[in-house]
Structure 1
């Protein structure tokens, strides 16, 4: 047979191994990541539920009931863009376990996760920040949360929670915004991407390398702190299996085109925001490449009259040094603010 034949066969085997390595990593990574997400959700006691809205829409959410009888207000959590309720449950699992006497609800944002729109018409509700704010009001009303509840919003969910507090201040007991997104307070670099609609360079990533770049450049994941490749492959595989190609580009384009009023929300609603008188905490991530921590300091004078506190935490938009996660870095601030 000779050396040439051996080299040819060896090369073919190597190519075969390479061709199977990515699908295998995707499969094993998906199982690994999904198992961990399910474990964290279960450990916190979250159960998937749905409620029918007057509009006829089915709204999905996660519900964690308190241990025993509780007189504490419920805590409603609004996730960020592209973050479904199950991923959010994993992120707040530690907080939920630290607040056993609270009912905690995580809302599924329109067109995310269980509320994916395969037609991409994004018709009801319209995909704007204002309509998603109204959606939060509609869902919490359908869930019969008639007394004031605590509200936690992360990233885009923080912006939505901020809009909700302005429109429905009497329904909010305590408000916490974690790395909240307001167009007026975003970093110049991120706003440039939004203006250019370069969605695949930010939240609309598609390919594996695009995901890695997004995690590193925008979410704050340092290469030396990155999880094993099998985990990253699993994260990527779950998203690509859930959402069709181009889904996020289409949705983000739709949100951007219908959210013009939200770009000047803080300036346009200054008087209303000044009247907000409930305890409020803003946690700004010092290394955030999306939400400008320095600009977020303005919220201390925009919201309320001495009721809003802004604090910085050492983290990026989702990741911090040594592999730390934002919700872990912010855990004690979150727990102490919502603990009674």
Structure 2
């Protein structure tokens, strides 16, 4: 073969390998199956889009509080809050959104309505008939608000921690992946895991009740479908304004607490101004020195704000 032809063949082969690399990396990740769930705590509910992993915390009670986590950290992100919530006489339900933790990885677009449907089906499957207090963190705040607006009779209070749907500032890589079509998908498949590990290391540099955060995120990244779920959420859930949703919640007088981190670079504290205009009935608190990881970096302050809110809005 002539030298030029050989060079072109090598370049072509390398190009094919580079293009295929993210998909090859994904195939090497572990599928979410019964073997992977061997050490999962709690139990599973078979819902319309797949298995959902959940845990009950505390004794049976008619006071139920449901935790809805954010885009990248599964239900364990609330570990530092559960004991304090139990002390408030709640029975606490935590669960993993599709694509995270021990839940299934359906290929559906990860819209807020998709996740709100998962929440409603889980409550039905568990026989929860009483109105619940919903606590949503980051994207989970947008999911909780969407559910509350759609099914207000099932929600008696709404607690939002740095909620998405008001203002959102993703990093450069996530923005490029979100807006880049197939090229963005390739870029996220190649570099998304690296970006998430880097962010986890940065969070771990601050005091936190989750002392092995980087290890937990690495475990998530090794599971097939996790990166795709995050990108789908970036494209179909986190780009939405919930102005109409929060106005509806305010008009229905659902007691609402929004808690913001003073130094949050992802969902900036300036969001509280727009939020106040959308829902004038809501109570808002700002935690000094807190960034976006406030559930596990500032759990005492979060719990204190919740206790004050519950005293203000008794049953």
Q: Provide the TM-score with structure 2 as the length reference.
A: 0.70
2:53 is aligned with 1:60: yes
Q: Secondary structure at the residue paired with 1:293?
A: coil
Give the Cα–Cα distance (whole angstroms) in 2 for the partners of residues 51 and 293 of structure 1. 36
Change (3 A) 1:334 1:254: same
Q: Secondary structure at the residue paired with 1:76?
A: strand
- State the partner residue of 2:259: 283
2:301 is aligned with 1:329: yes
Q: Secondary structure at the residue paired with 2:159?
A: strand
- State the partner residue of 2:84: 95
Give the Cα–Cα distance (whole angstroms) in 2 for the partners of residues 77 and 308 of structure 1. 19
Q: CA deviation at 1:151?
A: 0.7
Give the Cα–Cα distance (whole angstroms) in 1 for the partners of residues 192 and 80 of structure 2. 21
- The structure in which a higher percent of residues are helix is 1
- State the partner residue of 2:126: 143
Q: How many residues align?
A: 262
Give the Cα–Cα distance (whole angstroms) in 2 for the partners of residues 150 and 50 of structure 1. 21
Change (3 A) 1:89 1:213: closer
Q: Secondary structure at the residue paired with 1:151?
A: strand
The 5 Å alignment of 1:188-227 reads 190=170, 194-197=174-177, 205-207=192-194, 211-213=197-199, 215-216=201-202, 219=203, 223=205, 225=206
Q: CA deviation at 1:293?
A: 0.9
Change (3 A) 1:265 1:93: closer
- State the partner residue of 1:264: 241
Change (3 A) 1:283 1:233: closer
- State the partner residue of 1:311: 285
Within the candidate set 177, 193, 212, 2:160 is matched to: 177
**Any conservation in 1 of the 2:82–2:92 contact (CA below 8 Å)?**
no
Within the candidate set 215, 228, 232, 1:234 is matched to: 215
Q: CA deviation at 1:316?
A: 0.4
Give the Cα–Cα distance (whole angstroms) in 2 for the partners of residues 132 and 259 of structure 1. 9
Give the Cα–Cα distance (whole angstroms) in 2 for the partners of residues 191 and 276 of structure 1. 35
Change (3 A) 1:270 1:191: farther
Give the Cα–Cα distance (whole angstroms) in 1 for the partners of residues 227 and 113 of structure 2. 20
Within the candidate set 55, 63, 68, 1:73 is matched to: 63
Q: CA offsets, 1:40-94, max 9 Å, x none? A: x9xxxxx6122233x373322110233xx74x42111101112222x13523233
Gaps of at least 5 residues in structure 2 are 1-38, 179-183
Gaps of at least 5 residues in structure 1 are 1-37, 42-46
What CA RMSD, in Å, does the superposition of the two structures yield over aligned residues? 3.3
Q: CA deviation at 1:150?
A: 0.6
The 5 Å alignment of 1:106-125 reads 106-117=94-105, 122-123=106-107, 125=108
Q: CA offsets, 1:127-168, max 9 Å, x none? A: 222211121112112222222111101111111111111111
Give the Cα–Cα distance (whole angstroms) in 2 for the partners of residues 135 and 236 of structure 1. 23
Q: CA offsets, 1:274-298, max 9 Å, x none? A: 4231211000111001111112332
Give the Cα–Cα distance (whole angstroms) in 1 for the partners of residues 299 and 138 of structure 2. 12
Q: CA deviation at 1:174?
A: 0.9
